[in-house]
Amino acid sequence: MPYEPGGGYDLYARDVAPYLARCTGGDVEVVNEAGAGGLLATSNTAAAEPDGTRVQIVNTVGAVSAQIGQAAGINFDLAALSWVARVSAEANVVVVAADSRFADFDDMLRSPDPVRFVSTGPGSNDYINPPLLQQIFDFPVEVISGFAGSGEARTAYLRGDADAQVLPVASTVSAIRSGEIRPVLVLGDADSPGLEGVPRARDLPVAGAAQRETLTSLLDLVSLSRTMVAPPGLAPDRLAFLRDAFACALTNPDLVAASTEQRRPIEFMPGAELTEAMRSVLSADPAFREIVRDIT
């Protein structure tokens, strides 16, 4: 687990763990290895023994962006990892404090001064999305990074020290429902309560074909959202075992129903299909790759 306990990734991992244990007939332990915006755990997975005992949930948006941008400290190659399954295709959402000076995303687009987005650092959704939104929709953005976690980052814009954050939908639902924060833009597809009437990025006008292509590449990446990977060099029979086990767990009707009820839907993609999708996003259009490199 690449993040601290209590966040969306942690909750997904803990939801899946007991079902995976049943499907493997073994013990499944969730271990939190927070650090470097989620990249520490991925680095550890890349260096781990390929014996099938270590599997990691990945923030695919952050990890792919960090690799394309050659972020400092990267010591893994996502193409070499053993891709096991997609857990969810969860959309990202731009959120602001309930009393924010920005009533909606149009207010951000009209802002004469930079919109201040908070981030936990390279490797996270909230680091890569704001500059890409700046390039796609042409409005001023400043990224304030270095927060220890999403909770600390949220506190910054709730007290007025920043303006906004970009997070997976599941990480925002409870705060949206409580009225603490407001959604202003959705990246991807989501029908969660509280997002009714919130504009989708894909439906908004952009300046030209290049911006549209960049937006398409971003949405393709977001659609991979949360994935499960194992170390490189996993023997084919062990990889097949893990893929079958996750297919068993992630299609269990009880898990699917419980996850949907908890606003953390399971959207399973098999490992072979995921591997092809990852190859596609890692070779995204040159303009997208250049923007990501400039960001990081």
The pLDDT, as a whole number, for residue 296 is 66
Give the Cα separation of 296 and 293 in Å (integer).
5
Given a cut of 70, is residue 132 above it in pLDDT? yes
8 Å CB contact between 106 and 78? no
Q: Identify whether the C-beta of residue 147 lies closer than 8 Å to the C-beta of residue 153.
A: yes
- In this model, does residue 285 exceed pLDDT 80? no
Confidence of residue 289 (pLDDT cuts 50, 70, 90): confident
Q: Mean pLDDT in the chain? A: 91
CB 93 within 8 A of CB 60: no
pTM of the prediction? 0.83
Question: Could you give the 3-state DSSP secondary structure of residue 184?
Answer: strand
117: which residues sit within 8 A by CB, 6+ positions away? 126, 129, 130, 141, 142, 143, 144, 162, 163, 164, 165, 166
Give the tens place of pLDDT for each residue, 183-208.
999 999 877 778 889 999 999 999 99
Q: Which residue has the higher pLDDT, 112 or 6?
A: 112
Q: Answer whether 138's CB lies under 8 Å from 291's CB.
A: no
- Specify the DSSP class assigned to residue 170: G
